[in-house]
């Protein structure tokens, strides 16, 4: 009983990181931009958040600093991709490589640092329920924030005019341009929002999820988040579901070890990566399915002409 | 306000000048970084660009480090020219190292010199298998090769960890996670006394020539590039895109695996958890900076090797973290991409 509640709780927590990053990337991709730099942005944001908490003691400021770091790097990416029409894949890769290098370089002084304790979180009354309390109601506020974000995105993307415009930019930037919408500014906005959310996720990792800083600590979560957008066929609600599923896969290794299952730890660590591959294979099997759901001009540059 | 205007023709001049301009930009930003951190920027320049070529020994080290970068980047050039985005070369490098290491561990004190060939072939096969996995999942299930190849990097690293912490651990190694040192028969023959440089360099240079011939002098190489530039045209010409996918991934996987074999049976001499040193990722930058052209890649591999050695020297001489190399690598690719805009576009002032 107690075990299963803890497994659910830790899966939700782990899934939240992936969900926030993947929702950010979803906004990018709905506007037609693939940002392979998620991993790099999350790493820099993780460091920025960690360093801010070390300096100020405030976890909220840490999360904000992470968002700012993600935003700045996304702005650089956006400038290159949207105004200089550089290849989106190559530029995203550059961002990931730079982010990994820069965070390792700038973070050397923080490897031994410790963060102040954060008080336990509890939703009043509900957190005292047996089983449900520890499973669902003793989380960091951001875990609930991710839920709210999904609802917000579903409403915004599919129920508002501005959401429709964003999607039109991702489907056919030429038409959106012909209708007089500022395609490039809309895309930049989407890229910035995505960067800020990836930054938030990165900072959550280093300040709340595993409060420490080590080089490369994001360990592929940015890439898994990218895979999640495909897995979810670009639907916000499915992203949340997928993220929790992946959270569970990540967490199950610790529980298996706890159960005394004698598999070398390396094979357990492989699980999330293997699961990502498996999920990509399952979802991509039917190319029609992907083609229908994918924003039509995903990854294609837009040059408005003279 | 700056604005970009499409050129009628891509500029030939800028396609050569852009990597140079990117290098200048990276150096300038690097020097600014040194000043910001209170270090002498000229000393920095010296450490990165003069020390690595000052003595014959240093030069040997420079070439030794350039070898895996050159090999991997050559394969990536074939991939990227075919519009196949293999970014998991690091994993293919590790698998090549694993396979080569496994064969090298079989060598006894009286094995013949032919072991070297077996070790290298095992490396190639290991890398090919790992890249082939990506090709298969892409071909059969349309799974995105970027994400699959990258996920396989993490899997490969865990596999290496399992072997060196588990079944392949040296029983006499004081419980360190490493295999025993390979027998001399399985180690790469060195070229000169007083340098660690081994037969990897001539092999890599020969392969650079081979890839040049393949890309620019064979029909199959031509088909690869057409498939990358104009998929529709390739289809009309009857060039198979599936074939192109497999060739691109097998060639680059094989080359990355070969690099892994040369590394473990060369300077490393054993398998440890430190085999993955990021060459697979750095080689992406090498490939782009070298314009996806074998000759350019030879030069950019040397440059990237300087960044690596400079980073190590900056650590020992100037007290910098070694990871400064990663910062410069990232900056170089960013600058290159920005400068490459000048190839296809004109930058103009005005409304």
User: Tens digit of pLDDT for each residue in B213-237?
Assistant: 999 999 999 999 999 889 899 999 9
For residue A231, the tally of other CB atoms under 10 A from its CB is 24
What is the rounded radius of gyration, in angstroms, for the C-alpha atoms of chain A?
19
Determine the Cα–Cα distance for residues B89 and B68; give it in Å rounded to an integer: 11
Residues forming beta bridges with residue B6, ordered by sequence position: B345
* Among candidates B146, B321, B340 on the partner chain, residue whose Cβ is nearest the Cβ of A86: B340
> CA torsion sign, B314 to B320 to B326 to B332?
negative
Question: Looking at beta carbons, which residues of chain A come within 8 Å of B333?
Answer: 90, 93-94, 97-98
3 state SS of A69: helix
Q: Does A304 touch chain B (CB under 8 A)?
A: no
Percent of chain B with pLDDT over 90: 79
B1 pLDDT band (50/70/90 cuts)? low
Q: DSSP H helical segments within chain A, as ranges?
A: 2-30, 38-56, 59-78, 88-106, 132-136, 141-159, 161-171, 173-178, 183-204, 221-231, 236-258, 265-284, 287-293
Tens of pLDDT along B109-149?
A: 888 889 999 999 999 999 999 999 999 999 999 999 999 99
Q: Is residue A189 part of a domain?
A: yes
Determine the Cα–Cα distance for residues A196 and B33; give it in Å rounded to an integer: 25
Q: Does B209 touch chain A (CB under 8 A)?
A: no
For residue A190, what are the contacts with CB-CB under 8 A and spacing of at least 6?
A27, A28, A30, A31, A33, A166, A169
Q: What are phi and psi of B346, to 5 degrees?
A: -100, 140
Q: What are phi and psi of B190, to 5 degrees?
A: -85, 155
pTM equals 0.94
Q: Determine the distance in angstroms separating the CA of B154 from the nearest CA of chain A, rounded to an integer.
A: 7
Residues B280 and B347 in one domain: no
Residues B203 and B76 in one domain: yes
- Take residue A117 and report the two structure tokens written for it: 């304790």
What is the average pLDDT score of chain B?
A: 93
Contact between chains at B150 and A223 (C-beta distance less than 8 A): yes
Give Cα B329 distance to the centre of its chain. 12
Tens of pLDDT along A269-305?
A: 899 999 999 999 998 988 888 888 899 989 888 887 6
For residue B20, the tally of other CB atoms under 10 A from its CB is 11
* pLDDT-wise least confident of A99-103, A177-181, B191-195: B191-195
Q: What are phi and psi of A229, to 5 degrees?
A: -65, -40
Residue with tokens 């004698």: A262
Residues B30 and B111 in one domain: no
Residue with tokens 């038409």: A175
Q: What CATH number does the domain containing A170 carry?
A: 1.10.3470
Contact between chains at A108 and B321 (C-beta distance less than 8 A): yes
Contact between chains at B285 and A97 (C-beta distance less than 8 A): yes
Q: Does B143 touch chain A (CB under 8 A)?
A: yes
Contact between chains at B324 and A105 (C-beta distance less than 8 A): yes
Contact between chains at A273 and B155 (C-beta distance less than 8 A): yes
Q: Is residue B49 part of a domain?
A: no
Q: Is residue B44 part of a domain?
A: no
Residues B267 and B165 in one domain: yes
Q: Does A210 touch chain B (CB under 8 A)?
A: no
Determine the Cα–Cα distance for residues A155 and A160; give it in Å rounded to an integer: 7
Q: Does A226 touch chain B (CB under 8 A)?
A: yes
pLDDT of A287 reads 84
> CA torsion sign, A52 to A56 to A62 to A68?
negative
Question: Looking at beta carbons, which residues of chain B come within 8 Å of A104?
Answer: 321, 323, 326
Residue A238 has pLDDT above 50, yes or no: yes
Q: Is residue B48 part of a domain?
A: no
Q: Is residue A256 part of a domain?
A: yes
Contact between chains at B326 and A36 (C-beta distance less than 8 A): no
Percent of chain A with pLDDT over 90: 68
pLDDT of A305 reads 66
Determine the Cα–Cα distance for residues B248 and B225; give it in Å rounded to an integer: 10
Q: How many CA atoms lie within 13 A of B73 on its CB side?
A: 35
B351 pLDDT band (50/70/90 cuts)? low
Determine the Cα–Cα distance for residues B166 and B154; give it in Å rounded to an integer: 18
A-B contacts (CB, under 8 Å): 142
Residues B5 and B112 in one domain: no
Determine the Cα–Cα distance for residues B271 and A275; give it in Å rounded to an integer: 27
Q: Is residue B113 part of a domain?
A: yes
Specify the number of domains making up chain A: 1
Domain containing A105: what range? 2-293
Q: Is residue A304 part of a domain?
A: no
Q: Is residue A28 part of a domain?
A: yes
Q: What CATH number does the domain containing B285 carry?
A: 1.10.3470
Contact B337, A87 (CB under 8 A): yes
Specify the number of domains making up chain B: 2
- Mean of pLDDT values over B68-76: 98
Contact between chains at B333 and A104 (C-beta distance less than 8 A): no
* Among candidates B159, B326, B334 on the partner chain, residue whose Cβ is nearest the Cβ of A100: B326
Contact B156, B91 (CB under 8 A): yes
Which of A:36-65 have CB within 8 Å of B? 36, 40
Residues B141 and B8 in one domain: no
- Take residue A130 and report the two structure tokens written for it: 């047996």
Domain containing B2: what range? 1-39+326-351
Give Cα A138 distance to the centre of its chain. 22
First to last CA, chain B: 6
Q: Does B161 touch chain A (CB under 8 A)?
A: yes
- Mean of pLDDT values over A90-99: 94
pLDDT of A1 reads 60
Contact between chains at A94 and B143 (C-beta distance less than 8 A): no
3 state SS of A101: helix
> H/E/C letters for each residue in chain B?
CEEEEECCCCCHHHHHHHHHHHHHHHHHHHHHHHHHCCCCHHHHHHHHHHHHHHCHHHHHHHHHHHHHHHHHHHHHHHHHHCCCCCCCHHHHHHHHHHHHHHHHHHCCCCCCCCHHHHHHHHHHHHHHHHHHHHHHHHHHHCCCHHHHHHHHHHHHHHHHHHHHHCCCCCCCCCCCCCCCCCCHHHCCCECCCCCCCECHHHHHHHHHHHHHHHHHHCHHHHHHHHHHHCHHHHHHCCCCHHHHHHHHHHHHHHHHHHHHHHHHHHHHCCCCCCCCCCHHHHHHHHHHHCCCCHHHHHHHHHHHHHHHHHHHHHHHHHCCCCCHHHHHHHHHHHHHHHHHHHHHEEEEECC
Determine the Cα–Cα distance for residues B130 and A256; give it in Å rounded to an integer: 28
Q: Is residue A302 part of a domain?
A: no
First to last CA, chain A: 66
Residue A306 has pLDDT above 60, yes or no: no
Q: Is residue B30 part of a domain?
A: yes
Residues B19 and B167 in one domain: no
Which of A:9-38 have CB within 8 Å of B? 36
Q: What are phi and psi of A75, to 5 degrees?
A: -65, -40
A261-282 burial, b at 16+ Cβ within 10 Å, e below that, comes to: eeeeebbbbbbbbbbbbebbbe
Residues forming beta bridges with residue B190, ordered by sequence position: B198
Determine the Cα–Cα distance for residues A50 and A113; give it in Å rounded to an integer: 9
Residue B18 has pLDDT above 90, yes or no: yes
Q: Is residue A258 part of a domain?
A: yes
The number of residues making up chain B comes to: 351
A75 pLDDT band (50/70/90 cuts)? very high
Residues B2 and B69 in one domain: no
Q: Is residue B261 part of a domain?
A: yes
Q: Is residue A306 part of a domain?
A: no
Which chain A residue shows the shortest CA-CA distance from B347?
A: A84
Question: Looking at beta carbons, which residues of chain B come within 8 Å of A83?
Answer: 4
A134 pLDDT band (50/70/90 cuts)? confident
Closest to A224 (Cα-Cα) out of A200, A203, A206, A198:
A198
* pLDDT-wise least confident of A15-19, A245-249, B91-95, B285-289: A245-249
Closest to A38 (Cα-Cα) out of A53, A12, A20, A64:
A20
Residues B225 and B343 in one domain: no
Residues B238 and B341 in one domain: no
Contact between chains at B334 and A94 (C-beta distance less than 8 A): yes
Closest to B45 (Cα-Cα) out of B65, B28, B58, B57:
B28
Residues B21 and B84 in one domain: no
Determine the Cα–Cα distance for residues A149 and A128; give it in Å rounded to an integer: 26
Residues B112 and B149 in one domain: yes
- Take residue A135 and report the two structure tokens written for it: 């499973």
Q: Is residue B153 part of a domain?
A: yes
Q: Does A285 touch chain B (CB under 8 A)?
A: yes
């Amino acid at each position: 009983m107690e075990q299963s509640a803890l497994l659910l709780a830790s899966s939700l927590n782990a899934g939240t990181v992936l969900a926030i990053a993947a929702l950010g990337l979803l906004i990018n991709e709905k506007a037609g931009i693939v940002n392979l730099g998620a991993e790099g942005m999350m790493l820099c944001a993780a460091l920025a958040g960690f360093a801010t908490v070390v300096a100020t003691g405030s976890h909220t400021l840490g999360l904000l600093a992470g968002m700012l770091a993600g935003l700045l790097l996304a702005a650089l990416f956006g400038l290159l991709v949207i105004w200089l029409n550089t290849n989106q894949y190559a530029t995203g890769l550059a961002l990931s490589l730079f982010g990994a290098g820069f965070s390792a370089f700038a973070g050397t002084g923080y490897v031994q640092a410790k963060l102040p304790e954060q008080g336990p979180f509890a939703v009043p009354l509900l957190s005292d329920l047996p089983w449900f309390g520890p499973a669902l109601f003793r989380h960091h506020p951001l875990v609930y924030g991710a839920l709210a974000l999904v609802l917000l995105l579903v409403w915004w993307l599919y129920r508002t005019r501005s959401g429709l415009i964003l999607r039109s930019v991702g489907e056919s930037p030429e038409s959106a341009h012909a209708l007089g919408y500022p395609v490039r500014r809309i895309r930049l906005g989407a890229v910035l929002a995505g960067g800020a959310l990836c930054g938030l996720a990165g900072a959550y990792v280093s300040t709340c999820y595993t409060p420490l800083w080590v080089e490369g600590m994001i360990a592929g979560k940015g890439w898994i988040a990218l895979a999640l957008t495909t897995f979810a066929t670009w639907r916000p609600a499915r992203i949340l579901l997928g993220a929790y599923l992946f959270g569970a896969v990540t967490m199950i290794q610790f529980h298996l070890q706890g159960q005394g299952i004698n598999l070398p730890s390396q094979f357990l660590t492989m699980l999330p990566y293997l699961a990502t591959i498996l999920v990509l294979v399952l979802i991509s099997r039917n190319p029609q399915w992907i083609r229908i759901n994918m924003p039509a001009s995903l990854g294609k540059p837009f040059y408005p002409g003279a | 306000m700056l604005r970009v205007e499409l050129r009628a023709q891509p500029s030939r001049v800028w396609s050569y000048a852009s990597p140079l301009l990117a290098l200048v930009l990276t150096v300038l930003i690097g020097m600014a970084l040194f000043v910001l951190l209170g270090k002498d920027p000229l000393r920095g320049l010296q450490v990165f660009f003069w020390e690595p070529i000052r003595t014959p020994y240093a030069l040997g080290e420079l070439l030794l480090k350039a070898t895996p970068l050159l090999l991997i980047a050559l394969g990536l050039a074939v991939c990227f020219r075919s519009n196949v985005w293999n970014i998991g070369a690091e994993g293919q490098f590790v698998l090549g190292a694993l396979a080569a290491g496994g064969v090298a561990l079989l060598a006894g004190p009286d094995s013949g010199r032919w072991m070297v060939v077996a070790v290298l072939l095992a490396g190639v096969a290991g890398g090919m298998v790992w890249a082939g996995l990506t090709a298969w999942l892409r071909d059969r299930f349309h799974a995105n090769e970027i994400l699959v190849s990258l996920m396989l990097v993490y899997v490969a690293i865990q596999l290496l960890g399992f072997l060196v912490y588990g079944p392949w651990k040296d029983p006499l190694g004081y419980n360190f996670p490493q295999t025993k040192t390979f027998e001399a028969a399985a180690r790469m023959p060195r070229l000169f006394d007083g340098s660690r440089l081994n037969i990897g360099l001539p092999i890599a240079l020969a392969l650079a020539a081979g890839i040049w011939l393949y890309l620019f002098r064979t029909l199959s190489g031509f088909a690869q590039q057409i498939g990358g530039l104009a998929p529709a045209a390739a289809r009309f010409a009857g060039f198979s895109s599936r074939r192109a996918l497999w060739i691109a991934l097998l060639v680059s996987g094989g080359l990355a695996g070969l690099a892994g074999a040369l590394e473990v049976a060369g300077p490393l001499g054993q398998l440890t958890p430190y085999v993955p040193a990021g060459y697979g990722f750095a080689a992406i930058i090498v490939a782009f900076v070298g314009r996806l052209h074998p000759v350019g890649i030879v030069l950019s591999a040397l440059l990237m090797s300087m960044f690596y050695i400079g980073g190590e020297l900056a650590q020992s001489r100037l007290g910098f973290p070694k990871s400064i190399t990663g910062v410069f690598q990232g900056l170089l690719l960013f600058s290159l991409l920005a400068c490459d805009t000048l190839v296809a576009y004109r930058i103009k002032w005005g409304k």
